[in-house]
Structure 1
Amino acid sequence: MTSVGNIREMFPGGNTAYGFYSFYDYIIGPEANRIFIIKGGPGVGKSTIMRQIGDEMLQRGYDVEFHHCSSDNDSLDGVVIPAIKIALIDGTAPHVVDPKNPGAVDEIIHLGDYWNEDGIRVYKDAIIGHNRQIKYLFDRAYRYLAAAKSVRDDISVSIESCVDKAKVYHLAYDINQALFKDMPVSDRVGKQRHLFASAITPDGIVDHLDTLIVPQAQRYVLKADIGSGSSFILLDVAKAAEAVGYDVELYHCPLVPDEVEHIIIPALNTAITISCRFEDDATLIYDMNDCVDSDKLNALKDKISKDRVMMDSLMNEAIISIAAAKKVHDEMESYYKSNMNFEDVQQAKNRLLERILKYAAN
């Protein structure tokens, strides 16, 4: 009996202080055998098709990546089957994806072939109005997230002023020595893959870390606060891993994607994370409070506490707007669902699965 494959879950894009931020180019690399870009309106079955195919490949023993939508965590924006280098990607806004190598690697699967256009046109004014409302709500959310970043920056500057940077550099050196000591610089430069492990969604901040940092991995935990230097360390370790030929996955901060919160080095079965969730069974814990002047930090404690309250409030307002946008989007989906031939959509899914299984057989 074939054992079931493993699931990894992440976000290829996010609602951030900079607006919608895309790492869709990292869903699958240039070595892909086939990329199926699925087009169509809301509610036409894009996510359902991807999930069904992903589940089928899991049952056949293949490891599968589920790439979630940050604006609807229950919906998928992509599925990757790494062993056969196949990806299915939602190619619709706000993360429009079009073929880069049409025919050779990428192709479009258009679910609009299975809708009743006359029926959808009845809802033309409502659809235009809903899209306008969704844009307004996301723009509002992004203004709040930008404001939250400004307050977060204030926290970061305050804490950074208390950090002994020489100690941060020493800590980065110690971690690199622990991981890569005596390893020569490689003729092969490692590759970086950038994604989000967590996202700001209608349900709040959601993460899928437990599917990425698995129990059997070597887990290094950085006990770190905003501005304490953890992102610098993670980026430094990622560069060192590249230099000795290891590929690295970098998982970015959902609010400020310039910063990195977790890295995974698959070939070493190693993860380094700022999440305190993994402290109990960590391989090693590095406490970045040791790099901080506690007396200086104490003098700023009240100011930082006020900033945290303000940042949380702004984040909550953004989440309320994102949730409201999802509610409007759900209403718009109903106009399409009632005008779809889902039997034909399922037949299209079956044909797509057959093609994918042929790649698996080769």
Structure 2
Amino acid sequence: MNGITLELLDEILGNVEFKGQSGYERHLFGTAITPNGVVEYTDTIINDGTDVYYIKGEMGTGKSTLLEKVYKNAVLKGLNVEVYHTPLIKDNIETILIKDINVALTVSEIFKEKNYKLVDLDKCVNYDILDKYKEEIEYDKALIAKLLESGIENIKRAKKEHDAMEKYYIPNMDFNKIEKLKINIKERILEFK
């Protein structure tokens, strides 16, 4: 894993000179869990001319750790980086985009079947050990999928109730009064300067 990381860092950032100051990192989401299911926009984040590295690996193989090391090294060299996190576990990284050098790294399944540079972390796994737990792993994967599906159904029901409530609230709201109140509060706060 460390060897793959170092090779990748050298390939992507080896020729990048230090810019004299740290770059800027911006943290966002490119995927969301919505009433319509999991919605992903990674394909709109990464432009056609971008060099894309698809990071392949089962859960727990270190994909997010690898992405974090690449983006932090890019920032140290002075490059600006957009970091896109996963919606379910916000600390996990799904995609990084280094616009200054036109490079993206992603675990997004959208890029799985395309002709992008492949970084295969599955080859770091000791399957002799992992195969002993194959049944439990398959059970856990199925459970995660079922819980996600259940969560989406709950979000759907909540949205339906929210939309029903809005039918009563919106026609009875005086948005002009709310705007006047907002301005008044702002002016009162600024008086304390």
TM range (shorter): 0.7 to 0.9
Counterpart mapping for 1:86-125 below 5 A? none
Q: Work out whether residues 238 and 248 of structure 1, in 8 Å CA contact, stay in contact via their aligned partners in 2.
A: yes
More helix, by proportion: 2
Which residue pairs with 1:243 in the alignment? 76
In the alignment, which residue of structure 1 is the partner of 2:148?
315
Residues in 1 aligned to 2:97 and 2:116: alpha-carbon distance in whole angstroms:
14
Return the letter of the residue paired with 2:75.
E
Q: How many residue pairs end up in the alignment?
A: 177
Partner of 1:287: 120
Partner of residue 20, structure 2: 187
2:91 alignment counterpart: 258
2:5 corresponds to which letter in structure 1? A
| 2:88 paired with 1:269 | no
Residues 139-288 of structure 1 mapped to structure 2, 5 A cutoff: 168-288=1-121
Mapped partners of 2:151, 2:45: distance in 1? 27
TM-score, with normalisation over the residues of structure 1? Answer: 0.46
Alpha-carbon deviation of 1:186?
2.9
- Given residue 263 of structure 1, which amino acid in structure 2 is its aligned partner? I
Q: Mark the runs of 5 or more structure 1 residues left unpaired by the alignment.
A: 1-167, 349-362
Contact between 2:43 and 2:110, CA under 8 Å: does it hold in 1?
Answer: no
Measure, in 1, the Cα distance between the counterparts of 2:81 and 2:139: 37
Give the distance between the partners of 1:338 and 1:238, measured in 2 at CA.
48
Following TM superposition, the consecutive aligned residue runs of length 4 or more in structure 1 with deviations greater than 3 angstroms are 279-283, 339-342
Question: How many Å apart are 1:185 and its aligned residue?
Answer: 2.9
For residue 277 of structure 1, report the CA deviation from its aligned partner.
2.1
Kept in 2: contact 1:219–1:282 (CA 8 A): no
Q: Give the whole-Å Cα distance in 2 for the aligned partners of 1:175 and 1:216.
A: 20
CA 215–183 in structure 1, closer or farther in 2 if over 3 Å, else same: closer
Using the alignment, how far apart are the partners of 1:332 and 1:258 within structure 2? 34
Q: Over the residues paired in the alignment, what is the CA RMSD in angstroms?
A: 1.9
Amino acid corresponding to residue 172 of structure 1 in structure 2: T
Name the CA shift for 1:208/1:311 in 2 (closer, same or farther; >3 Å): same
Percent pairwise identity:
35
Contact 1:190 1:243 in 2 (8 A): yes
* Matched AA of 1:320: E
Amino acid corresponding to residue 327 of structure 1 in structure 2 = K
Q: CA–CA distance in 1 between the matches of 2:152 and 2:135? A: 26
In 2: Cα distance, 1:280 partner to 1:309 partner: 23
TM-score by length of 2: 0.84
Q: 1:235 is paired with a residue of what secondary structure?
A: helix
Assess if the C-alpha contact under 8 Å between 1:186 and 1:244 holds in 2: yes
**Structure 1 residues 322 and 276, CA, compared in 2 at 3 Å: closer, same or farther?**
closer
Following TM superposition, by how much is the alpha carbon of 1:340 offset from its aligned partner in structure 2, in angstroms?
5.9
Paired residue type of 1:174: E
Contact 2:29 2:87 in 1 (8 A): yes
Which residues in structure 2 correspond to 1:328-347 (within 5 Å)?
Answer: 328-339=161-172
* Contact 1:221/1:274 (8 A) holds in 2: yes
Classify the secondary structure of the residue corresponding to 1:214.
coil
